[in-house]
Amino acid sequence: MGMLDWFKGILQGEDKSAKAGSVAALQPGADEKGAEVAGLNFKTAVDAHMKWKVRLESYINGTSTEQLKVEVVSRDDQCPLGKWIHDVGGEKFGYSETFFDMKAHHAHFHRCAGEVLSAAQAGETAKATKLLQGGDYIKASERVKMLLARMFILASDGKEAIDSHLKWKERLRAYIKGESREELSVDKVSRDDMCPLGYWLNGIGGERFGASPAFSVLKARHSHFHRCAGEVLSLAQQGEREKALQLLEHGAYPDASQQVAAAVVTLFEGQKKAAA
């Protein structure tokens, strides 16, 4: 099992040992450096997150040498993952709904861990054990693990950013027809660095695939697409709605959008062949 498959196994629920708080083993010799994205080794982050249960169990049983404090454990910005979330992670993935979900669930997990530790320190061993082995703690822990896996996969293939690109046509049509409350600016829509795909191309995507000629093609086509989208929006804002709707279906805009999609396929197909 390779690194990407390992994360996909977590996300798809194929890891049969997940309920036991562990994850499937990688193939011998698998390069764990491939799990590092934007300053975080996601494999290490998953492992460290899952070890919280063992650390808390040891504390409850009195076999731990750690000096754990409720006020520290309850915070979501004191562990390595939390520090990354509140620093580089936010800078790199601030556009991503998955990132914000992970941030929220990670904070909830630490509150649950704090409750376990608080009960243990109050001498309520049975209550602490019950909190640790079921209920909100387990749910929160599994959710963080799943979202970490999803973040790694999205960062690796840009799927979330690509999906957002495909929604541009729907967004523009709704705006032109007056069905959208979204406030679109021609200046911003015309730029290629203000949308999720643009963030990805100028951030994680560039870091991972910037040396590829196919990546350069995708970036150029994406820039051209936004210029076309800006022209459509400009017409709509000038009151030429029918012409704007026509341009969504025929001419430069749909051609540019299709060219972006084709460039995306070429980029990732090339990466798959290189990895084979």
Task: Identify the pLDDT of residue 3.
Answer: 64
- Give me the chain's average pLDDT, please: 85
Beta carbons within 10 angstroms of residue 82's beta carbon: 18
Task: Identify the pLDDT of residue 15.
Answer: 43
Give the pLDDT confidence of 2-41 residue by residue, as tens digits: 666 777 777 666 444 444 444 455 444 444 556 777 788 8
Q: What is the CA radius of gyration of the chain?
A: 23
- If you average pLDDT over residues 251-261, what whole number do you get? 92
Domain boundaries, the chain: 3-156, 159-275
Tell me the β-bridge partners of 37. Answer: 40
Could you tell me which CATH class the domain 159-275 is placed in?
A: mainly alpha
Task: Give the predicted TM-score (pTM) of the model.
Answer: 0.63
Classify domain 3-156 by CATH number: 1.20.120.30
Cite the DSSP H helix spans in the chain.
3-11, 42-61, 70-73, 80-84, 90-93, 97-121, 125-133, 136-157, 159-166, 168-176, 186-189, 196-202, 204-209, 213-237, 241-249, 252-275
- If you average pLDDT over residues 199-204, what whole number do you get? 85
User: What whole-number distance in Å separates Cα of residue 70 and Cα of residue 64?
Assistant: 15
Domain 3-156 and domain 159-275, same fold? Reply is yes
Closest CA to 161 of 185, 138, 136, 192: 192
Task: Identify the pLDDT of residue 248.
Answer: 94
3-state secondary structure of 40: strand
Task: Identify the pLDDT of residue 236.
Answer: 96
Could you tell me the pLDDT band of residue 274, with boundaries at 50, 70 and 90? low
Task: Identify the pLDDT of residue 19.
Answer: 41
Task: Identify the pLDDT of residue 206.
Answer: 87
Task: Identify the pLDDT of residue 275.
Answer: 55
